[in-house]
Amino acid sequence: MPFEPSGHDTQTVPKVGTARPACPLCGTPVAQSFFEQKGIPIHENVLMPSREEARACPRGDLAVALCGLCGQIFNATFDYSGVRFSAAYNNAQTYSPRYLDYLEEIAGDLIERHALKGKTIVEIGSGQGTLLLRLCRNGQNRGVGYDPSYSGPETAEGGAVRFFRDFFDEGDSPLVADLVVCRQVLDLVPQPRRLVAALSRRLAGSSSTTVCFEVPDVNWMLNNCALWDMGYERRSYFSPQSLRWLFEHEGFESTRLSSSFGGQYLWLEAHPAGGPRPPSAAPDLTGLAKQTEEFAVLAQRKIAASLRNLQEAGSAGKCFVWGAGAKGVMFLNLLDPQCQLVHCAVDLNPAKQGKFVPGTGHPIVWPESLRGLRIARIVLMNPIYLDETRRLLKKLGISAPLECA
Ligand SMILES: [Zn+2]
């Protein structure tokens, strides 16, 4: 799908002598996208109080492209002017026991490997503080969290943890921290390179500080044809190549690049290396380019098959989507924009109850609401929650076919 050489918003897209959209990391212009969807909700995680407001939500076009230089995959039509991360933004996964176990694992692992006892920890995008509080409580550490969507008290743990309802300051003031952690943020910010550059600047001379960044792994998405993971508000999709490229170019030495959460996330650890480093060899993107070509074909087949599946199931009862986060929102917007095939979206997050799916207006309900209904199918949006969802359905006495999207 080639891009027209004009008409794109370039407020946040570096220009490199051309009107073609450019990679948000290295500025290389791209000629075409490999996956497009028109008119999808700009926000997947903003709670909508009524069906009417949900259906009238702001929309944008998605055009996912691969940068041929650094390996970054990104939404080339992204327009930051419509994107807001405020208190209405809620993508908390912390109501899932599986996810809480994961955060517990991360906290234990970081405390042990980095000897975090009596240290200072900064978290960028700390959400409601679930990880930061664990890191500080379990290691007697001090913590500072930044997140505009935070809604709790300003301090916790007897004043050892302080929360700022704001974005991380990208200014020049020195940052004093033993560990900086930032999870699931770099893929959402309009200019990921600016955030990493600011951190590098603020940590100048602090070679003992460890920075830890977690992002969704686009390799997992491509290999599993996880097209529901591709939404408008996510600006960037990092590959191992592009994540390493970014940190090395902004003056960090990466010391660990690993996979986490069942292969869905990439975890990078790095130290300030005393300023920008000479560029290493360009990453080999042969495999990634082939993956995107295959994805383009498989995604269209998957959309058609999923639609057929829902249509055929309709005669046997009601269909439900399990998970009203980004994946569920994308699934419903692509397959059931008029609310004709799926009855409701189920979610464990109390803040989503009684609210509506952006774009389509499907109601969001508790799992208990499914009791006593004739259910044809429950479509689970994230396969990593299969076991816990099976257990919960059994506990609630709900017998229904459960399948992964
Ligand atoms: Zn690039």
Question: Residue 318 belongs to a domain with what CATH number?
Answer: 3.40.50.720
What's the confidence (pLDDT) of residue 205? 84
H or E element at residue 64: strand 59-66
CA of residue 72 to ligand 1 center, whole Å: 5
CA of 5 to the centre of ligand 1 (A): 18
Note the pLDDT of residue 9. Answer: 35
Cα-to-centroid distance, 60 and ligand 1 (Å): 23
**281 assigned to some structural domain:** no
Rounded to an integer, what distance in angstroms lies between the CA atom of residue 116 and that of residue 108? Answer: 10
- Looking at the predicted structure, is the pLDDT value of residue 8 above 50? no
Number of domains comprising the chain: 1
| 197: Cα separation from own chain's centroid | 21
Structural element, H or E, at residue 391: helix 386-395
Average pLDDT over residues 114-137: 97
Q: What is the mean pLDDT of residues 176-197?
A: 94
Q: Kindly provide the residue ranges of all beta strands, DSSP E only, lying in 243-314, ordered along the sequence.
A: 252-260, 265-272
Ligand 1 centroid from CA 227, angstroms = 21
Dihedral sign computed on CA atoms, order 334, 337, 340, 344:
positive
Paired residues of 179 in beta bridges: 121, 210
109 within a domain of the structure (yes/no): no
Question: Where residue 17 falls among pLDDT bands split at 50, 70, 90?
Answer: very low
pLDDT at 40 over 60: yes
Cα 380 versus chain centre, distance: 18
Q: Is the pLDDT of residue 7 over 50?
A: no
- Judged against a pLDDT cut of 60, whether residue 50 lies above it is answered with yes
User: Over the stretch 288-321, which tens digit does the pLDDT of each residue have?
Assistant: 999 999 999 999 999 999 999 999 998 888 999 9
Residue 389 belongs to a domain: yes
Residue range 243-264, pLDDT digits in tens? 999 999 999 999 999 999 999 9
Residue 5 covered by a domain: no
Q: Give the distance (Å) from ligand 1 centre to CA of residue 264.
A: 22
Alpha helices in 140-215 (DSSP H): 192-202
Compute the distance from residue 200 Cα to the ligand 1 centre, in Å. Answer: 19
Model confidence pLDDT, tens digit, residues 81-108: 666 655 556 666 667 888 899 999 999 9
Q: Is the pLDDT confidence value at 5 over 90?
A: no
Using the mean position of ligand 1's atoms as its centre, give its distance from the Cα of residue 179 in Å. 28
Domain that holds residue 369: 287-404
pLDDT value, residue 391? 94
As to burial, measured by CB atoms within 10 angstroms (0-12 exposed, 13-18 middle, 19+ buried), residue 193 is: buried
- Kindly give, in sequence order, each residue whose CB lies less than 8 Å from that of residue 25, ignoring residues fewer than 6 positions away: 67, 70, 72, 192, 193, 236, 242, 245, 246, 249
Mean pLDDT computed over every residue of the chain: 90
Which residue is listed with tokens 């692509």?
334
**Per-residue pLDDT at 46 exceeds 90:** no
If residue 305 lies in a helix (H) or strand (E), which one and from where to where? helix 286-313
pLDDT above 90 for 31: no
Which helix (H) or strand (E) is 98 found in, with range? helix 97-113
Decide if 157 contacts 133 (C-beta within 8 A). Answer: yes
pLDDT at 11 over 70: no
Taking residues 27-43, report their average pLDDT: 92
C-alpha span between 273 and 243 (Å, rounded): 16
Structural domain includes residue 390: yes
Q: Write the Ramachandran bin of 59: left for phi over 0, alpha for psi from -120 to 50, otherwise beta.
A: beta
Res 2: pLDDT: 62
Cα 146 from chain centroid (whole Å): 17
Q: What is the percent of the chain with per-residue pLDDT over 70, rounded to a whole number?
A: 90
Q: How many CA atoms lie within 13 A of 204 on its CB side?
A: 11
Residue 30 CA, ligand 1 centroid: distance in Å = 9
Whether 243 maps to a domain, the answer reads: no
Listed range (1-15, 51-65, 178-192, 303-317) with the worst mean pLDDT: 1-15
Closest Cα partner for 361 from 57, 51, 56, 53? 51
In the predicted structure, residue 37 carries a pLDDT above the cut 50: yes
| CA 31–ligand 1 middle distance (angstroms) | 13
Residue type for position 391? R
Q: Is residue 345 part of a domain?
A: yes
Task: Look at residue 363 and tell me if it is in a domain.
Answer: yes
Whole-angstrom distance, CA of residue 119 vs CA of residue 184:
23
Residue keyed to tokens 């390799």: 219
What is the predicted pLDDT for the residue at 67? 94
Q: Which residues contact 6 (CB under 8 A, 6 or more apart)?
A: 19
* pTM assigned to the model: 0.85
The string of pLDDT tens digits covering residues 209-253 is 999 999 999 999 999 999 999 988 888 999 999 999 999 999 999
Q: Which residues, by Cβ under 5 Å, contact ligand 1, an ion?
A: 23, 25-26, 28, 67, 69-70, 72
State the average pLDDT over residues 51-57. Answer: 95
- Per-residue confidence at 16, pLDDT binned at 50, 70, 90? very low
* Residue 197 Cα to ligand 1 middle (Å): 16
Cα atoms in the Cβ-side hemisphere of radius 13 Å centred on 364: 26
Q: Render pLDDT for 318-339 as a digit per residue (tens, 0 to 9).
A: 999 999 999 999 999 999 999 9
Contacts of 297 (CB under 8 A, 6+ apart): none
